[in-house]
Amino acid sequence: MKRQNYILSILLILFISPLIFVSCNKNLDINQDPNNPTDVPENLILSALLSNFSYEVNGGYPTRVSVLWTKHLAGGIAGNHEGNYLITGGDVNNFWTSFSYSDVMNNAYVLKNKATTNGNPNYSAIAKIVLAWNLSMTTDVFGDIPYSEAFKGTEGIYKPKYDSQEDVYKSIQALLDEAISEAASTTNVLKPAADDLLYQGDMTKWAALAHTLKARFYLRLSNAPGLTASAQAKLALDELAKGSITMATQPKFKYFATTGAENPWFQYAIDGKWAVTTRPSQYYVNKLLASNDPRIAFQATKVVAATNVDPANVGKYIGLTNEAPGNNILNYSAIAPFYSAKDAPLYWMVYPEVEFIKAEAEFLVANKTVNATVTAAYEKAVRASMDFYGIAATDANTYLANNALSSNANTAYGQIMNEKYIANFLMFEAYNDFRRTGLPALPINNEMYPGQTELDQPPRINQIPVRFPYPSGERLYNSDNVPADIPTDPVKAIVIPVWWDSK
């Protein structure tokens, strides 16, 4: 997977900047390796940074595992795997070491420092947004993580201390505040342009994204110790009032129908680079079918006729469970092309989430009561989710008529979060929302495989995991700093909530 992303980064840099490598210095220093430059300009760092963050993190391991745990997808393979909660310290090493810290956060840190030194605050702004976002995803699955000492190898710090998750979130918000200020700066020696593979140098869009992330993160801490849900919700609403992404500006990363540059979901679940057995779950498909939800056509495919496909399945949506299927995998729905075509964009965040943040926040500000403002926000959020797919307004009206917001507070909260869960299909955020609120109520993935008994399987947990185990590499090389309250045994570790998960 890392090789594919490396190819993608290089292809994109060459595509955007075809003249970068044309000229050479006539007085070539034969002692300098041209394939291992010691100083890379901001524009080249930025393109690779965005590419790596998209492929390795937003479309990478944390998202692929979390959507199994939230039952958006299932892994139809025999034996134990992430889908039925088998995850080890070795499994998470690549995400922690190679992708999250090295490819993304370290390079974001380098970019922000270089941009500051060179007088390019717009580049620093983008670097800080990416750094803050990646920090959030890392701390959300691990809890306490290194940050304040994480990128100080040049200062001789090779075993960085772990910062508390509470402090990491304070740093995340500070980074985003700084980014918003720097995005507004016009005093740049060099400004992002085509090398900005997300917004092509439009800093107003980056600032709006930063405000949106701040709102998301305020709401993330709605049940954190020492904080109140209504106060966090008010902060989220205030932040969105300053600016947010729109349907036209929601962050989506472009991919191409060429080898090595395809959409991550295509590579992961469709063409077989890893497997073709990761598909919409039976729970999720049946859930949408039960409510006649028109979004299913954009999230899953109908089974098509093929060799070894039961004719009775053709033309139907059929979901998968986390076990070896009883018949050919083609008897089950795949992820729809909207998300998984070769050249489908990868959505880092979808606009409907903004409206669902508002709906939940209004509900919390009203002390978990339903009023006209909450109802209107809920309906607007559901319509935004329908609009996201281009679903006709008449179909949206019918759906809302059948799923009107209840006047009962508990039922209404479940409806808001259930609709947000559907709107955030294949999004990492659905996992955070589930842990934060317990909504929607999801069944655990504890299917027993045909012919197996409990004695055939390793220890199982009777709940959806609420964190990743710490990497085995950290326990080997930075053991003194790994939090002592998180067991080495992953079965015991993954049931311990992170700091903000105290519902």
The model's pLDDT over 247-299, given as tens digits with 9 standing for 90+, comes to: 999 999 999 999 989 999 999 999 977 789 999 999 999 999 999 999 999 99
Looking at the fold, whether 326 and 182 belong to one and the same domain comes out as: no
The pairing of beta strand 278-280 with beta strand 73-75 = antiparallel
Instruction: Evaluate whether residue 420 is within a structural domain.
Output: no
| One-letter amino acid for residue 166 of the chain | E
Looking at the fold, whether 167 and 287 belong to one and the same domain comes out as: no
Q: What is the CATH number of the domain that holds 108?
A: 1.25.40.390
Element containing residue 73 per DSSP (H, E): strand 73-75
Question: Tens of pLDDT along 152-205?
Answer: 988 899 999 999 999 999 999 999 999 999 999 999 999 999 999 999 999 999
* CA-derived radius of gyration, the chain: 23
d(CA 332, CA 503): 36
Looking at the fold, whether 53 and 167 belong to one and the same domain comes out as: yes
Looking at the fold, whether 316 and 197 belong to one and the same domain comes out as: no
Looking at the fold, whether 46 and 177 belong to one and the same domain comes out as: yes
Looking at the fold, whether 289 and 183 belong to one and the same domain comes out as: no
Instruction: Evaluate whether residue 489 is within a structural domain.
Output: yes
pTM: 0.92
SS3 268: helix
Element containing residue 279 per DSSP (H, E): strand 278-280
Looking at the fold, whether 148 and 52 belong to one and the same domain comes out as: yes
User: Half-sphere exposure of residue 14, counting CA atoms within 13 Å on the CB side?
Assistant: 9
Render the burial of 208-229: b for 16+ CB within 10 Å, e for the rest: bbbbbbbbbbbbbbbbbeebeb
Backbone phi and psi for residue 353, each to the nearest 5 degrees, phi listed first: -60, -35
d(CA 286, CA 82): 22
Count of domains observed in the chain: 2
Instruction: Evaluate whether residue 363 is within a structural domain.
Output: no
Cis peptide before 440 (omega within 30 of 0): yes
User: Half-sphere exposure of residue 281, counting CA atoms within 13 Å on the CB side?
Assistant: 26
SS3 199: coil
Instruction: Evaluate whether residue 223 is within a structural domain.
Output: no
Domain boundary among 301, 316, 344: 344
Looking at the fold, whether 57 and 185 belong to one and the same domain comes out as: yes
Looking at the fold, whether 278 and 191 belong to one and the same domain comes out as: no
List the chain residues with pLDDT less than 50.
1-34, 448-452, 455
Domain boundary among 344, 366, 395: 344
Instruction: Evaluate whether residue 413 is within a structural domain.
Output: no
Looking at the fold, whether 184 and 311 belong to one and the same domain comes out as: no
d(CA 310, CA 91): 36
Looking at the fold, whether 62 and 188 belong to one and the same domain comes out as: yes
Q: Which domain holds residue 326?
A: 264-344
Looking at the fold, whether 290 and 162 belong to one and the same domain comes out as: no
Q: Using an 8 Å Cβ cutoff, are 416 and 378 in contact?
A: yes
Instruction: Evaluate whether residue 483 is within a structural domain.
Output: yes
Instruction: Evaluate whether residue 64 is within a structural domain.
Output: yes
Domain boundary among 292, 316, 344: 344
Instruction: Evaluate whether residue 113 is within a structural domain.
Output: yes
